[in-house]
Amino acid sequence: MAKPNYAFAKRQRELAKKQKKEDKLKRKAEQAEQTAQGDAPGEAAAGTDEVGAEEAGEKRPKGD
């Protein structure tokens, strides 16, 4: 019966971790790029939501 090659298995796990980490960084960079491109419309929409809530008279009750 053959012995298990623990060093090989460890190296494969390390390579898989490294690849997964690189993929995650790449996805985050792509998301950041998309967010940067869509910032102007996103900020305008977020600003109108906040103002709209104040104009509608939605106020939080005080804890008194």
d(CA 54, CA 52): 5
Mean pLDDT within 32-59: 63
Mean pLDDT within 1-29: 96
Average pLDDT value for the chain: 79
Say whether pLDDT at 53 is over 60: no
pLDDT of residue 61: 67
Its pTM stands at 0.50
d(CA 62, CA 44): 29
pLDDT of residue 1: 86
Say whether pLDDT at 55 is over 60: no
